Structure 1
Amino acid sequence: MRDLTPDRLRTDDAGNGLLLAPDAVLTPEGLMDHYAAVVAGDTFRAVGPAERLEREYPHLSAVRLPGHVLMPGFVDAHHHLTQSFGAALAFGEPSEIFRRVWVPLEGALDEEAVYVAAKLAALESLRGGFTTVAEAGSRAPVDVELTAAATRDAGIRCVLGLVCNDVDGDTDSTLAGAEKHLARYGTEELIHPSLAVSVPEAASERTLRRTARLAAEARAVVQIHVNEHLAGVERSLVQHGLRPLEYLYEVGALGPQLLAAHATLLTPRELTLLADSGAAVSYNPVASAWKGNAVAPATAMAERGIRFGLGTDGTRGDGFRLAEAAEFAQRLAYGLATGDSSCGAGWTWLEHGSGGGADAVGLAARTGRIAAGAAADFLLVDVSGPETALSWDLPWELVRRGNRDQIAAVFVAGRLRLWRGWPVDWDGPALVRRAVGLAEEVMRRAPVTRVHPTSMEARTRR
């Protein structure tokens, strides 16, 4: 691979495509040694044994990738792209920081800041192996197209949420905006429209029902924060006499179109509601550790056939560390108490970090797998280093020992987007420098309130 350059990973002007021949390919059927993949346009034309594909495509010169695995890109099932300027503000803070941190921060963003913040988050995600992110909706007072433009320009696939809260607003205009949003991005290559409600009590019953129907008709998802914190569960009980998922079921908003973010603190009945309705969950293990009250019972959801993906919630854009956190959190929260030393056997977290995530965000037919006809959203991962070279069970090793430094190349829609951690067709370092300056300006005017001091201040006090 030392002599491999980004130019060798680009399709030619005639559109003949690429024949990539790594040591192994991670397919929906498992890890396949001596497999290859043909990329043509934005999709996989063929995936199969390398010898066979080289015979069937003699006009393509195989790009040999010794010591590498070709695997699906990770799917971040829950992100807040416009919060990237304040990602570290959550450290050490008690739960439910949206009132003190996120609402003031996003309210202080202007158009340039929204674009730069979203593109910065997209760059971090690509560097961490994510080829798709689900943006749960921003409170910034600007057109959502700025977030779309940022992800489009960065080269990442985005499920773009439009916030449809209407408790304090006009329901008719909210629903009209939802229909317009679904139509506006309905035919884009990289932008996939979605609707969003912050929490169930932020929208009227009419809007919850109607957004569910609109999304189902458009084959899109409605993203709603559900059971993220104990306070949210208790607010629902006080206001409606029902827990959040029970309330969504009661008003007719629970179904396959729902993407429930977090879904911790689930009762047996709520697990049954999820299983019976076909709703999906974004399991966000790092967010649970950093700012939550509980860990979603993901192994129980997997056993019951509940659809779920893995989400960062904007904590850190590293797919391998997210997969490791998903397994680690399950083992601490549930496995230790039951003697479950496997907790998903490794493959669960890779699968739900890619194909399962694509299904959860409504893109199962498009991405999340290495297969003929699927979008060519994939990673080339170097497994020749000391972390994974002595391999006995590579999927497990990728979960527990893999890291983003091993990602040699990131492809989205058949195009090479990142090489060795940086974009190949736009200036990543320049964006980072601009983000540093803008973030300082935004923080000076954002009325953010923190409870916990900075780490050095806390050290001084002790």
Structure 2
Amino acid sequence: MTQLTRELLDSSGPLLLVPDAVLLPEGVADDHAVVVADGSFRAVGPAGELTRTHPGLHAVRLPGHLLMPGFVDAHHHLTQSFGSALAFGEPSEIFRRVWVPLEGALDEEAAYAAAKLAALEALRGGFTTVTDAGTRADVDVEVVASAARDAGIRCVLGLVCNDITGDPASTAGPSTAGPSTAGDSTAGESASTAAALERAEKHLARYAGDPLIHASLAVSIPEAATARTLHRTARLAAEAGAIVQIHVNEHLAGVERSLVRHGLRPLEHLHSIGALGPQLLAAHATLLTPRELTLLADTGTAVSYNPVASAWKGNAVAPATAMAERGIRFGLGTDGTRGDGFRLTDAAEFAQRIAYGLATGDSSCGAGWTWLEHATAGGADAVGLGARTGTVAEGLAADFLLVDLATPELALSRDVPWELVRRGNRDQITAVFVGGELRLWRGRPTGWDGPALVRQAAELARAAVEKAPITRVHPTSTAARRGSVAR
């Protein structure tokens, strides 16, 4: 262990960190420093000023390093990590064939290991916050909370509040019931709705005061809940200062089912029952009309823009540059694809360039800073933590990265934000801090055995995948190659 590592691990008192530069909201500030105490930034400012005003603190020098906010993953599925190798080459709505069956095969041990494995991957990729959209494993959600807490990552933890059982996609026919009556047509439906709302209220209260876990509500897709539940979860979250996560306008099939059933697109349906607003985080939102963009802007609804998910199994790319121009709140999400914050920002810019920029001659496509900002402060705002994290600023949680700038990719930089988006990668991350504590050092967690978890997860994953009734459309790449050669 180096002297620098020992200094950073010493969290018994305030830390005065003096890197070469600090990434602030307005840009990179050279010769700046921060004071970290009690899990937060106590001071941020010029290095000379902070060393003078804190003479009792030993200055920890970090030559060649940039101190920047940790990335915020605005959309994740922590208990789906065991299926990460099953997602390639699959068409849309993979959740029906892979994710739901896989999560259904997890017991408490497997769910914990899957969530902690996902948290470790996220930390290695520079994420200090992950937003879990709710597990469908038959376990207490505290299992997921414990995994995130033990890994040392901040987590916005969703509780699934679906109150329509079975396959909601099979339900056809128009429905015009309003928020006060929908779901009350039968005793069974009414009981299911009441139970879902009771669970929601208890979940929102359960993690009050937890330093790392922030309660959230979730509905898998609008079809999975009655109008009453969609309306009430929105109100409960708004009253609690929390968010509701719903996959919205992600796939063509879902949009068409909503049109058949309600005569409205999913986002329009949510608006009609009063579910839009600052408390809603619309996951994906790839298929948006001009009217729906206006609804998002007018209601303050947030979006998680998941560019890698669009590339891997989506029907479209969310119009994120248009969202940014119109002031629509959004963060960047991985959707559990790969936990690498730098590659996520690169994908965010690249997807916009391919989907929209090339056709219009937009060579900037957000000018780099847009994607870096929405991967940090914008993401924190979208998931309801804008007053807690996402920015290096006095009073906010000390969730940050130390990035090595003395690498072949970054050493010659003349525009650090653009370079981080285009040429940053996780092996340049020296350290990850969450809540003022060193959680990761050069890719390895501090305080617990990461390699041991990986070995355990690999064994549990094999058993879970064999047990789950998973249906894949395409063969493995090796089998596909054999078929291609045979043809």
In 1: Cα distance, 2:43 partner to 2:154 partner:
22
In 2: Cα distance, 1:161 partner to 1:451 partner:
29
- Structure 1 position 226, deviation (Å): 0.5
Name the counterpart of 2:295.
Answer: 273
Name the counterpart of 1:136.
Answer: 133
Name the counterpart of 2:8.
Answer: 9
Partner secondary structure for residue 5 of structure 1: helix
Q: Classify 1:12/1:348 alpha carbon distance in 2 versus 1 (closer, same or farther; 3 Å).
A: closer
Task: Determine if the alignment matches structure 1 residue 167 to structure 2 residue 164.
Answer: yes
In 2: Cα distance, 1:239 partner to 1:400 partner:
43
In 1: Cα distance, 2:479 partner to 2:242 partner:
46
Partner secondary structure for residue 439 of structure 2: strand
1:194–1:222 contact (8 Å) kept in structure 2? yes
In 1: Cα distance, 2:466 partner to 2:284 partner:
31
- Structure 1 position 195, deviation (Å): 0.2
Partner secondary structure for residue 51 of structure 1: helix
Partner secondary structure for residue 452 of structure 1: coil
- Structure 1 position 444, deviation (Å): 1.3
Deviations 1:435-454 (A, max 9, x none): 01000111111110111100
1:37-116 → structure 2 map (5 Å cutoff): 37-116=34-113
1:161–1:223 contact (8 Å) kept in structure 2? yes
Partner secondary structure for residue 389 of structure 2: coil
Name the counterpart of 2:284.
Answer: 262
In 1: Cα distance, 2:111 partner to 2:478 partner:
30
**1:202 paired residue among 211, 216, 224:** 224
2:11–2:437 contact (8 Å) kept in structure 1? no
Number of aligned positions between the proteins: 459
Name the counterpart of 2:264.
Answer: 242
Partner secondary structure for residue 426 of structure 1: coil
Matched residue type, 2:38:
G
Task: Detail structure 1 runs of 4+ shifted over 3 Å in the superposition.
Answer: 2-5
1:9-408 → structure 2 map (5 Å cutoff): 9-11=8-10, 13=12, 15=13, 17-168=14-165, 170-408=192-430
Give the share of equivalent positions with the same residue, in percent.
Answer: 77
Partner secondary structure for residue 74 of structure 2: strand
Partner secondary structure for residue 144 of structure 2: helix
Deviations 1:76-118 (A, max 9, x none): 0000000000012110011111111011100000010000000
Matched residue type, 1:29:
E
2:399–2:435 contact (8 Å) kept in structure 1? yes
- Structure 1 position 12, deviation (Å): 5.0
- Structure 1 position 43, deviation (Å): 0.1
In 1: Cα distance, 2:2 partner to 2:121 partner:
26
In 2: Cα distance, 1:75 partner to 1:4 partner:
30
In 2: Cα distance, 1:167 partner to 1:443 partner:
26
- Structure 1 position 51, deviation (Å): 0.3
Partner secondary structure for residue 142 of structure 1: coil
Q: TM-score scaled by structure 2? A: 0.93
1:41–1:414 contact (8 Å) kept in structure 2? yes
Q: TM-score scaled by structure 1? A: 0.98
Any unmatched runs of 5+ in structure 1? none
Deviations 1:95-143 (A, max 9, x none): 1111110111000000100000000000000000000000001110110
- Structure 1 position 5, deviation (Å): 3.3
In 2: Cα distance, 1:421 partner to 1:48 partner:
28
2:23–2:67 contact (8 Å) kept in structure 1? yes
Q: Report the RMSD for the aligned CA atoms in angstroms.
A: 0.9
In 1: Cα distance, 2:369 partner to 2:20 partner:
19
Deviations 1:390-435 (A, max 9, x none): 0110100000000000000000000000000011100000000000
Any unmatched runs of 5+ in structure 2? 166-188
Partner secondary structure for residue 246 of structure 1: helix
In 2: Cα distance, 1:328 partner to 1:347 partner:
13
In 2: Cα distance, 1:399 partner to 1:29 partner:
16
In 2: Cα distance, 1:39 partner to 1:97 partner:
43
Partner secondary structure for residue 290 of structure 1: helix
Partner secondary structure for residue 41 of structure 2: strand
In 2: Cα distance, 1:63 partner to 1:181 partner:
41
1:37–1:48 contact (8 Å) kept in structure 2? yes
Matched residue type, 2:64:
G
In 2: Cα distance, 1:67 partner to 1:134 partner:
31
Matched residue type, 1:203:
A
Q: Classify 1:136/1:12 alpha carbon distance in 2 versus 1 (closer, same or farther; 3 Å).
A: closer
Partner secondary structure for residue 359 of structure 2: helix
Partner secondary structure for residue 120 of structure 2: helix
Matched residue type, 1:426:
W
In 1: Cα distance, 2:415 partner to 2:27 partner:
12
In 1: Cα distance, 2:482 partner to 2:380 partner:
46
In 1: Cα distance, 2:337 partner to 2:44 partner:
34
Deviations 1:221-272 (A, max 9, x none): 0000001111111111111100011000000101110000000110000000
1:126–1:418 contact (8 Å) kept in structure 2? yes
- Structure 1 position 201, deviation (Å): 1.4
- Structure 1 position 28, deviation (Å): 1.4
1:10–1:18 contact (8 Å) kept in structure 2? no
In 2: Cα distance, 1:444 partner to 1:265 partner:
35
